[in-house]
Structure 1
Amino acid sequence: MREDTNTFAIAKPQESGRVPTRRESGTGSQGELGRMVGIDFARFLAIIGMFCAHLLPPAGIPGHISWLSSIVDGNASTLFAVVGGISVVLATRSYLERGHIAAARWAMAVRGLLVIAIGATLAQAPGSIVVVLVYFGVAMLGSIPFLRMGAKGLLVWAGVLAVVGPILNAQLRGMIGVVGEGGGVSWPQWGEPLVALRAVFVTGTYPVITWIVYVLVGMAVAKLLIGARRNAAEPRLLAWMAGVGALLAVLAVSASALVYGLFGRAAVIATMPVESAEAIDGLIGSPGFGAPLSPEWWALALQTPHTGTTLDILRGVGIALFVIASMLFLAGVLPKAVLRVLEPIRAAGAAPLTVYTLHVLAAAAATVALASVGQIDAPADIPWWYLGPGILGVHILGALVIGAILAALQRRGPLEALVSSISGAVARRLGAVATGGRRRRD
């Protein structure tokens, strides 16, 4: 099973774990970005996609749902990463607007380091989930030079990296003879720091060389949304985002199918003549491990999930843009009574680090329990509490319960509050920010 997530930047630096009210955070129709309810909805959808990727039977095991896998594989993770880029802007926005550049950089640096530390710890849990937090934490650090950049500049950099990154990824792996390494990058792996860094940036499951593209796109989206809300142009921007997103996804899938049908399939058959056509098609359609299936040009032109090709990136970005725009539009037109009913979903989506951590720990506990059961002779003997719709429902219910509790208490997730508190304290101290928000003189 694969990990399909990636955003845990906190929305806005605050002193306590209390969630600001809608009036305080400016989430009304005329407010600025604040904590957008639609963003939390989009993040919750990504959480559900992650759960599906982890807890439903993969291909080749009875109970596999191919159509659902085609939706969540490689898309839930990129949606999280794009929303993570939005969160990067939200986490540093107040500092930048007051001219505290150093504080903004320190805030993001500390957040990134804390996410790396949590990820390296969580990656030691038993199970098959590839924890993404170390990769995402490094991507957060990589976003620091782009904090002050405008939306156009961010999109240009994202476009360049989306083209160059996959080529470098495939070529470098070929040069050093590494197909894939790194996994969740736990603490023991950092015993060889050069290998761990190589995995994080190039050869791992979520290499930063391509994954930072999603963060940059998310940062650009956040800045566009801020400007649109200030200029009362949000509906037009959301329509543009949804249209462009749908177009990118359709073009990526269509172009990939054309390249594979005309060139890729024959190239694969030529190298594996004993394989059946169905098996080859299944191989090409299965998620990769962070790099194109081959350094050949046709492989670089496929949109196979988790391969980091340009078309894989475009498909993921397109779907993320469409979902984010749809959720923002939905949150803007729903009556307040309906939004109150959906508050547990919003609160769960606003606490991704807490929900994700508990999800991974619960899956790890199930792995330990499965080991105590003894040998599983056939896939059909896998218990419901380890894999399948039953345990998926339990995890979704658990996320909703967490959301309901946080909503009732009007609190943020505990891990979100912890990361925000530590990063805020360091940023104010090292960034020379006085309590009242003025620059402190040394």
Structure 2
Amino acid sequence: MRAARAAGSADPIARLVGIDFARFLAILGMMCAHLLPRPGMPGHEVWLDGLVDGNASTLFAVIGGISVVLATRRYLEVGAYAAAAWALAARGVLVILLGATLAMAPISVVIVLVYFGVAMLGTIPFLRMPVRWLLGSAALLAVLGQLVNAPLRAALDVGDEGGGLAWTEFADPLRALRGALVTGTYPVITWLVYLLVGMAVARLLLAVRHDDRAARRFLLGAGLLGLGLAVLSIVSSRLIFELWGRAAAVQAAPGLDAALIDELARLQGQGAPAAADWWWLLGAAPHTGTLLDILRGVGVALFVIALMLGFARWAPRWLLVALRPVSAAGAAPLTVYTVHVLGVILATSLVLLLGPPAFSSVPWWYLSAQILGVHLAVALVIGAVLAVLGRRGPLEALVSAVSTAAARLGSGSARRGTPPARNAQSAL
């Protein structure tokens, strides 16, 4: 927030406070996916699963692309590409190190950080690309990725490998690299698409931030485009399955019950569709990496980002002040996500310690709306403290300091007087 105040702008789209709100919603969505009862458990809410599964994490990734641009733009504005590359590389490596460490602990969810860090490294060659090339590259990856992902897994006979990619996975470096890029739960071949889209969105946002009319047009257009992409994806995938996909799947596997095939078509994947057959590749189930899955994720992300930017732009000042704990928590995603994961690790460890016979039902402190409320409250407390102190999250400050040092060390930018890339948006 200090950079926003230093800029002296009263325009929320210039400060991009709405991005912090959107990022907080992404974190909240992931909390819901991690902490609410699973299908078949008492208290499971199907509608909420449909809202957050595959949408919260992709929103997080698209905003990550926006943050990549915000974290490197001061270097790029003075032509210091090497400094920007070194700074971003340091950020990516730190995120990977943290993710691999957290994944070592017993936990019931897949840690996303290693995949995210590798995807950040993958954005380095794209830092100077214009918007049209960013979007073109994202489209090409979205089309080709699904044609590589599922067939490669079938050839290797793996449905998903690597999980959260803990340090132990790096005992086999080739398998770990393969998991991070293609065969893992959040493969970079898919996630890089979301970051590239986010980078394009950031460039467009920065281009209109001082033009009120252009900013309004952009927010309206992005919101409508996002809504249209999401609806198109969901309707198209369902229509294709109803008209052709179900019959083709039944014919290919006559032993499977039609109801089971319907369930498989809706079931979230582990980074790829259930099979490489065309009817699975034309689905939009969450975390399958198909073209329609990607379009739905991008569409939801664009809609939420436009909505939150519009809210931050037109909401009364008193409301924005009252919501500073929310925006401050959203501006500290690495800190908030890590604290959330540590909470899940603690609960998982207790379950393993007590053992299944110790309770007849899932305890509230493991999966429930109550434990979700506790994690949400902790996130808001973190945000409130940071807002009062006017500081970044501790992990964000660490990453920023290390990345600045890496830029200076790697490119000699300090000798050329390149300014550090200081702004309120983290690269996570």
Query: Common fold, TM-score beyond 0.5?
Result: yes
Q: Is the 8 A contact 2:13 2:313 kept in 1?
A: no
- Paired with 1:294 and 1:333, the residues of 2 have a C-alpha distance of 46
SS of alignment partner, residue 209 of structure 2: helix
SS of alignment partner, residue 2 of structure 2: coil
- TM-score when normalising by structure 1: 0.91
- Closer/same/farther in 2, CA of residues 435 and 174 from structure 1, 3 Å limit: same
- Return the offset for 1:26: 5.2
1:74 aligns to what? 54
- Return the offset for 1:290: 0.2
Match runs of 1:181-220 below 5 Å: 181-220=161-200
1:10 aligns to what? none
Q: Does 1:402 align with 2:382?
A: yes
Q: Is the 8 A contact 1:27 1:37 kept in 2?
A: no
- Return the offset for 1:274: 5.0
Q: Does 1:28 align with 2:15?
A: no
- Return the offset for 1:377: 8.1
1:368 aligns to what? 349
- Return the offset for 1:252: 0.3
- Return the offset for 1:43: 0.3
Q: Does 1:170 align with 2:133?
A: no
- Find 1:290's aligned residue among 250, 271, 274: 271
Q: Which amino acid aligns with 1:174?
A: A
- Return the offset for 1:396: 0.6
Q: Does 1:119 align with 2:115?
A: no
1:352 aligns to what? 333
- Paired with 1:307 and 1:319, the residues of 2 have a C-alpha distance of 16
- Paired with 1:53 and 1:382, the residues of 2 have a C-alpha distance of 16
SS of alignment partner, residue 381 of structure 1: coil
User: How large is the RMSD of aligned CA atoms in angstroms?
Assistant: 1.7
User: Bigger shift: 264-273 or 325-334?
Assistant: 264-273
- Closer/same/farther in 2, CA of residues 376 and 287 from structure 1, 3 Å limit: farther
Q: Is the 8 A contact 1:26 1:32 kept in 2?
A: no
- Find 1:430's aligned residue among 410, 413, 427: 410
- Closer/same/farther in 2, CA of residues 65 and 435 from structure 1, 3 Å limit: farther
Q: Is the 8 A contact 2:75 2:418 kept in 1?
A: no
Q: Deviations over 1:196-238 (max 9, x none)?
A: 0000011000111111000000000000001111444111101
Q: Does 1:316 align with 2:297?
A: yes
User: Bigger shift: 79-88 or 271-280?
Assistant: 271-280
- Return the offset for 1:368: 1.3
Q: Which amino acid aligns with 1:166?
A: Q
1:240 aligns to what? 221
2:236 aligns to what? 255
SS of alignment partner, residue 161 of structure 2: coil
Q: Is the 8 A contact 2:17 2:309 kept in 1?
A: yes
1:388 aligns to what? 368
- Paired with 2:22 and 2:343, the residues of 1 have a C-alpha distance of 23
Match runs of 1:83-94 below 5 Å: 83-94=63-74
User: Bigger shift: 258-267 or 76-85?
Assistant: 258-267
Question: Any unmatched runs of 5+ in structure 2?
Answer: 420-428
- Return the offset for 1:55: 0.4
Q: Is the 8 A contact 2:226 2:298 kept in 1?
A: yes
- Paired with 1:330 and 1:281, the residues of 2 have a C-alpha distance of 38
Q: Does 1:306 align with 2:287?
A: yes
Q: Which has the higher contact order (CA 8 A, sep 6+)?
A: 2
Q: Is the 8 A contact 1:292 1:300 kept in 2?
A: yes
User: Bigger shift: 138-147 or 289-298?
Assistant: 289-298
- Return the offset for 1:438: 4.5
1:15 aligns to what? none
Q: Does 1:414 align with 2:394?
A: yes
Q: Which amino acid aligns with 1:356?
A: Y
